[in-house]
């Protein structure tokens, strides 16, 4: 089986090369963040934490992280609440327009939100909503709601109905059954959707860039861009440190969500209708 | 055991309201504004004039529009279809039945690019492609003189950046699709003397065809909406060489203040998105 061995080794070789290609761009940000004289190329850093302390010592930066947490956290909370409520009748009841509603939801999950940003900006102007963190949060909630409802419904479909029926027999209301029986059993699903929503929004630059204007209301995704654009001579070390700090929540949350994703990675439950 | 109930749909109210106000209304507004002369902001929004198809006539005569449609197509084909879908499949295929630790390490590296927010991806890539950047350092070791990638090959740079950012998604989709193929089918084919290529062509690919098509549509839709990566890497430049439709739309609406025209471009994007979305749903063969 010499031929077979050779084939396997070639495959390992290709994977190593591809892996290195994926690794190299990330490598720069890791090295530069610990280097006070960082340039655009890779170089051996002098390993200080100065960049991080400079970034974290700036109250504007800290505030933008705070705004990001409020914006994305609020959005994730609203998406979870609205999608649990919506998923319940979709999963548990027969309704006349259910099929068309679900198909519309699925359809909306795929539409590129980029396409509506110009009219949304106009709409915000017209209703005097521009530069409002709360209104931006509501728009973001709506844009991620279709996916949230779709996933939540498939999670809910996997919770057996007998438990609820037992609760009803014991005198629980529909609302009580949802709150005390279904929601606790769905915690992994709820956590997955919350994490997914938070991360997507945490990394979203375009929406807050269009809908928010004043510096103190901008989340980290937008301040990071201004950092890049406004400092004529870009301080690469600080930019890298800021980027790394900003990327951390996404990485940590992703690792966290891996625990909940017992069933590997399928199309967000889309395979089960 | 499903029950009928009159009050159940009330649970849908918050979602329906949100979707109506912030999802459906903007789409209706897109259609409406696209036929107006909306310019600047505020006061102009109040005395709108309906100008029929003027925006669209201008659009189809605008060489910038035509070129940005072309750029969008190039970006879609090379970074979504050829890049992410094929590279993701190759990665998933090569990782099959390999050493677990090794698989995990490669997986983590590829996924790292996907978990990283788009704007950070843009910085990493600008640094990577810049004149004194990593790529020129690497080719320098082989005695090749530096190339100003972002200036000479801007489209290639943004395409590679998007592949780097998006491939992990396709890889994960294909990994779980490949995992569902029963082992004994491939083993039986091997015993019958089929070589690797034949197994791939006649067994593996046909069995995951569904997820290949669905994922391709989804990745195409995601790539169609890519704005941040291109805007922050090149701003659509140099000149208009990386100005895809979303960037063109942004420049018309928020740089030149031609909102009516910008919205007309949005509408074109939206229509492409709707058509692609319908194909995506068709490919899913979803049962509701």
Take residue B228 and report the two structure tokens written for it: 């941040």
Give the CA distances from residue B93 to residues A142, A169, B176, B196, B288, in Å, rounded to whole numbers and listed in that order: 37, 52, 11, 12, 31
Cβ <8 Å between A92 and B246:
no
Q: Which of B40, B46, B117 to probe by mutation at the A interface, max A CB count within 10 Å?
A: B117
SS3 at position B36: strand
Contact B222, B241 (CB under 8 A): no
pLDDT of residue A63: 96
pLDDT of residue B2: 58
CA distance B48 to A248: 46
pLDDT of residue A232: 52
Q: Which residue has the higher pLDDT, A165 or B230?
A: B230
pLDDT of residue A41: 80
- Residue A5: pLDDT band with limits 50, 70, 90: confident
CA distance A152 to A159: 11
Cβ <8 Å between B15 and A270:
no
Question: Chain A contact for B80, CB < 8 A?
Answer: no
- Residue B101: pLDDT band with limits 50, 70, 90: very high
pLDDT tens string B169-221: 999 999 999 998 988 888 888 888 888 888 899 999 999 999 999 999 999 99
pLDDT of residue B1: 47
Closest residue in A to B163 (Cα–Cα): A22
Instruction: Taking residues A11-35, report their average pLDDT.
Output: 93
pLDDT tens string B7-20: 778 899 999 999 99
Chain B environment of A25 (Cβ under 8 Å): 113, 124-125, 127-128, 134, 164
pLDDT of residue B261: 92
Contact B288, A102 (CB under 8 A): yes
pLDDT of residue A253: 94
Chain B environment of A267 (Cβ under 8 Å): 173, 211, 214-215, 218, 284
Cβ <8 Å between B288 and A93:
no
Cβ <8 Å between B232 and A228:
yes
Cβ <8 Å between A27 and B173:
no
Take residue B262 and report the two structure tokens written for it: 């910008």
Distance from CA of B107 to the nearest CA of A (A): 9
Distance from CA of A129 to the nearest CA of B (A): 12
Instruction: Taking residues B16-38, report their average pLDDT.
Output: 91
Q: Which residue has the higher pLDDT, B231 or A125?
A: B231
Whether the pLDDT of residue A261 is over 60: the answer is: yes
Contact B86, A6 (CB under 8 A): no
Distance from CA of A173 to the nearest CA of B (A): 12
Instruction: Taking residues B18-32, report their average pLDDT.
Output: 93
Chain B environment of A98 (Cβ under 8 Å): 288
Angle between helices A98-110 and B259-284 (to 10 degrees): 120
pLDDT of residue A270: 39
Question: Chain A contact for B111, CB < 8 A?
Answer: yes
With the C-alpha atoms ordered B253, B256, B258, B262, is the resulting torsion angle positive or negative? negative
pLDDT of residue B43: 53
Chain B environment of A116 (Cβ under 8 Å): 23, 26-27, 30, 266, 270
Take residue B276 and report the two structure tokens written for it: 């692609």
Whether the pLDDT of residue B45 is over 80: the answer is: no
pLDDT tens string B236-288: 989 999 999 999 999 999 999 888 899 999 999 999 999 999 999 988 877 66
**Omega before residue B143 within 30° of 0, cis:** no
Phi, psi of B258, rounded to the nearest 5 degrees:
-95, 80
pLDDT tens string A124-175: 988 999 999 999 999 999 999 999 999 999 999 988 888 888 888 888 888 8
- Residue B5: pLDDT band with limits 50, 70, 90: low
Question: Chain A contact for B125, CB < 8 A?
Answer: yes
Cβ <8 Å between A206 and B266:
no
Whether the pLDDT of residue A231 is over 80: the answer is: no
Task: Select from A125, A207, A206, A205 the least CA-distant residue to B39.
Answer: A125
**Omega before residue B238 within 30° of 0, cis:** yes
pLDDT of residue B41: 53
- Residue A267: pLDDT band with limits 50, 70, 90: very low
Question: Chain A contact for B179, CB < 8 A?
Answer: yes
pLDDT of residue B283: 87
Share of chain A above pLDDT 70, in %: 93
Contact B50, B36 (CB under 8 A): yes
Closest residue in A to B223 (Cα–Cα): A112
CA distance B173 to A264: 9
CB pairs under 8 A between A and B: 291
Contact A218, A67 (CB under 8 A): yes
**Could you tell me where the DSSP H helices lie in B116-204?**
118-129, 134-141, 149-152, 154-179, 183-191, 196-199
CA distance B28 to A103: 19
Per residue in A127-137, is it b (16+ CB within 10 Å) or e — as a string? eebbebbebbb
Instruction: Taking residues A22-38, report their average pLDDT.
Output: 90
B 140-159 → A contacts, CB under 8 A? none
Q: Which of B120, B150, B178 to probe by mutation at the A interface, max A CB count within 10 Å?
A: B120
- List residues bridging with B3 in a β-sheet: A93
Out of A18, A28, A138, the one facing B128 most closely (by C-beta) is A28
pLDDT tens string A51-95: 999 999 989 999 999 999 999 999 999 999 999 999 999 998 888
Distance from CA of A14 to the nearest CA of B (A): 8
**Of the candidate ranges A159-163, A187-191, B98-102, B283-287, the one whose mean pLDDT is the lowest:** B283-287
Cβ <8 Å between A273 and B38:
no
Out of B19, B124, B225, the one facing A113 most closely (by C-beta) is B225
CA distance A100 to A259: 34
pLDDT tens string B58-88: 999 999 999 999 999 999 999 999 999 999 9
Task: Select from B277, B241, B256 the least CA-distant residue to B70.
Answer: B241
Take residue B15 and report the two structure tokens written for it: 């979602």
CA distance B64 to B256: 14
pLDDT of residue A273: 33
- DSSP states of A179-245: IIIIHHHTHHHHHHHHHHHHHHHHT--HHHHHH--SGGG--HHHHHHHHHHH-SS--HHHHHHHHHH
CA distance B260 to B55: 7
Chain A environment of B18 (Cβ under 8 Å): 82, 138, 141-142, 145
Report the Cα A125 to chain-centroid distance in Å: 27
pLDDT of residue B227: 97
Contact B132, A40 (CB under 8 A): yes
Distance from CA of B10 to the nearest CA of A (A): 9
Share of chain B above pLDDT 90, in %: 73
pLDDT of residue B4: 61
Whether the pLDDT of residue A264 is over 60: the answer is: no
**Model-level pTM?**
0.92
Rounded to the nearest integer, the mean pLDDT of chain B is 91
Rounded to the nearest integer, the mean pLDDT of chain A is 88
């Amino acid at each position: 089986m010499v031929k077979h061995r050779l084939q396997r080794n070639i495959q390992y070789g290709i994977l190593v090369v591809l892996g290195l290609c994926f690794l190299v761009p990330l490598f720069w940000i890791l090295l530069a963040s610990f280097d006070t004289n960082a340039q655009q190329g890779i170089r051996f850093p002098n390993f200080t934490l100065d960049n991080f302390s400079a970034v974290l010592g700036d109250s504007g930066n800290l505030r933008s992280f705070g705004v990001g947490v409020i914006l994305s956290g609020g959005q994730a909370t609203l998406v979870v609440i609205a999608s649990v409520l919506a998923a319940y009748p979709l999963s548990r009841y027969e309704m006349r327009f259910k099929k068309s509603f679900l198909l519309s939801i699925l359809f909306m999950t795929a539409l590129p939100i980029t396409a509506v940003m110009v009219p949304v900006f106009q709409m915000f102007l017209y209703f005097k909503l521009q530069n409002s963190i709360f209104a931006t949060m509501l728009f973001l909630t709506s844009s991620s709601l279709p996916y949230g409802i779709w996933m939540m419904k498939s999670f809910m479909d996997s919770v057996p109905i007998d438990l609820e029926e037992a609760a009803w027999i014991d005198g629980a209301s529909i609302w009580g059954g949802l709150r005390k029986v279904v929601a606790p059993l769905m915690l992994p699903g709820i956590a997955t959707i919350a994490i997914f929503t938070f991360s997507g929004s945490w990394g979203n630059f375009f929406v807050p860039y269009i809908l928010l204007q004043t510096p103190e209301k901008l989340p980290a995704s937008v301040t990071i861009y201004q950092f890049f654009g406004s400092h004529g001579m870009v301080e690469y070390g600080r930019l890298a440190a800021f980027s790394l700090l900003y990327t951390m929540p996404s990485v940590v949350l992703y690792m966290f969500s891996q625990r909940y994703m017992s069933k590997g990675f399928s199309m967000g439950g889309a395979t089960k209708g | 055991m499903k029950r009928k109930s009159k009050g159940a749909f009330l649970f849908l109210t918050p979602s329906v309201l949100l979707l109506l106000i912030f999802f459906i209304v903007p789409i209706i507004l897109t259609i409406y504004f696209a036929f107006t002369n909306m310019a600047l902001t505020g006061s102009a929004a109040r005395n709108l004039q309906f100008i029929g198809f003027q925006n669209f006539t201008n659009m189809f005569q605008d060489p910038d529009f035509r070129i940005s449609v072309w750029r969008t197509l190039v970006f879609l084909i090379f970074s979504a279809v050829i890049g992410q879908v094929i590279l993701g499949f190759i990665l998933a295929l090569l990782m099959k039945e390999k050493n677990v630790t090794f698989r995990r390490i490669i997986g983590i590296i590829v996924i790292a690019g996907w978990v990283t927010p788009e704007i950070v991806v843009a910085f990493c890539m600008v640094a990577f492609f810049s004149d004194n950047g990593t790529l020129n350092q690497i080719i320098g070791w082989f005695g090749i003189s530096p190339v100003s990638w972002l200036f000479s090959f801007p489209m290639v740079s943004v395409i590679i950046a998007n592949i780097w950012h998006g491939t992990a998604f396709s890889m994960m989709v294909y990994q779980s699709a490949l995992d569902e193929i029963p082992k004994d089918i491939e083993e039986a084919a091997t015993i019958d003397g089929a070589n690797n290529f034949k197994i791939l062509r006649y067994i593996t690919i046909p069995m995951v065809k569904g997820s290949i098509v669905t994922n391709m549509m989804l990745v195409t839709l995601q790539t169609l909406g890519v704005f941040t990566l291109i805007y922050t890497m090149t701003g659509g430049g140099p000149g208009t060489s990386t100005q895809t439709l979303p960037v063109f739309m942004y420049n018309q609406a928020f740089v030149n203040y031609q909102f009516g025209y910008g919205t007309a471009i949005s509408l074109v994007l939206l229509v492409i998105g709707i058509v692609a979305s319908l194909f995506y749903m068709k490919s899913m063969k979803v049962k509701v």
